[in-house]
Amino acid sequence: MTPDDRDVEPWRWPDARWRGIVERVRAGRALRPRQWKDGARCAVALSFDSDHETNELREGGESIGRLSQGQYGNRQGVPRILDILAANDVRASFFVPAVTALLYPDEQRRVVAGGHEIGLHGWIHERNSGLPHDAERDLQMRAADTLERIAGVRPVGIRTPSWDFSPHTLAITRDMGLLYDSSLMADVDCYELLMDGKPSGVVELPVEWIRDDAVYFNMNRFAALRPYTPPADVYDIFRREFDGAYREGGIFQLTLHPHISGYRSRTWILEELIRYMRAHDGVWFATHAEIVRYAAAEAV
Ligand SMILES: [Zn+2]
């Protein structure tokens, strides 16, 4: 629905109308285990969205400069991140647009060889929330087939490129038999996704823009957008998110982008965070799929 089509007088809506909109996709039962795997107190779900060149291509852009920043994600970002994860024996989840996988099949194989998970992240990082049903469904299924063919493992989870759903996204995700989505923000714990009030069978592992590097570091040369938070402050925000998760016995979920955080002045954030979290007893580092499976099985 475009803004033009939208009824711009929602204060006149009958209750059934606004309630129907809210009920399309809703958080249901929280899935919170009493403790995490092997008695751990806190679960850490690190994720990396390997958008690379698709951030430019998604809008039909052809800027060679911005495409080169995307290529940095492959040449420097992912290798630096994989080295940090390997050095600290941490496994994580990488959400990969199919076009990234087609550009860099070796990168995906290296990610899988490192013990990490690969999840869906659209075809070309398209704005899935604005797509017609058939196009969205076709792209999501083709992306799953492409990732499976390249990485050798069928994805079980999705992070939508828009971090948003169309009215059809959840039904498509459910029909594909995916275990989880990681794009919505209704809780700090995993939760059941309800569709029109009924359990969909899909689990949400929630994200938040607060725990996303792009929010703090993105820059657009010809617009006013500039990084406005120093790396040390970004680290501080992430660390406090972890502190809260540890205190509450919950999940610390984080999203970084190789082409945004994979720089000499920023990779220390990931290294320092891992070191800080490792210094706490009972922290379980796992992939999103592992955490979702555990939460769904052990929820009290
Ligand atoms: Zn992305």
Question: pLDDT tens-digit profile of 270-294?
Answer: 999 999 999 999 999 999 999 999 9
Mean pLDDT of the chain: 96
Instruction: Tell me the CA–centroid distance for residue 78 and ligand 1, in Å.
Output: 14
Instruction: Tell me the CA–centroid distance for residue 159 and ligand 1, in Å.
Output: 8
Q: How confident is the model at residue 228 (pLDDT cuts 50, 70, 90)?
A: confident
Q: Which residues surround ligand 1, an ion (CB under 5 A)?
A: 49, 51
Which range (96-100, 108-112, 138-142, 225-229) has the least confidence? 225-229
Kindly tell me if the per-residue pLDDT of 226 is higher than 90: no
How large is the average pLDDT for residues 97-105? Answer: 98
Residue entry with tokens 């929010």: 215
Instruction: Tell me the CA–centroid distance for residue 49 and ligand 1, in Å.
Output: 5
Instruction: Tell me the CA–centroid distance for residue 33 and ligand 1, in Å.
Output: 29
Instruction: Tell me the CA–centroid distance for residue 3 and ligand 1, in Å.
Output: 24
Instruction: Tell me the CA–centroid distance for residue 233 and ligand 1, in Å.
Output: 23
How large is the average pLDDT for residues 114-142? Answer: 97
Q: How confident is the model at residue 235 (pLDDT cuts 50, 70, 90)?
A: very high
Q: How confident is the model at residue 19 (pLDDT cuts 50, 70, 90)?
A: very high
Instruction: Tell me the CA–centroid distance for residue 260 and ligand 1, in Å.
Output: 11
165-197 pLDDT tens trace: 999 999 999 999 999 999 999 999 999 999 999
Instruction: Tell me the CA–centroid distance for residue 59 and ligand 1, in Å.
Output: 13
Closest CA to 85 of 286, 297, 283: 286
237-250 pLDDT tens trace: 999 999 999 999 99
User: What's the confidence (pLDDT) of residue 287?
Assistant: 98
Instruction: Tell me the CA–centroid distance for residue 264 and ligand 1, in Å.
Output: 21
Instruction: Tell me the CA–centroid distance for residue 19 and ligand 1, in Å.
Output: 30
- Enter the tokens of residue 208: 């938040």
Q: How confident is the model at residue 5 (pLDDT cuts 50, 70, 90)?
A: low
Instruction: Tell me the CA–centroid distance for residue 239 and ligand 1, in Å.
Output: 23
Kindly tell me if the per-residue pLDDT of 148 is higher than 80: yes
Kindly tell me if the per-residue pLDDT of 110 is higher than 60: yes
Q: Which amino acid is at 169?
A: T
Instruction: Tell me the CA–centroid distance for residue 300 and ligand 1, in Å.
Output: 33
Kindly tell me if the per-residue pLDDT of 222 is higher than 90: no
Instruction: Tell me the CA–centroid distance for residue 298 and ligand 1, in Å.
Output: 30
Kindly tell me if the per-residue pLDDT of 215 is higher than 80: yes
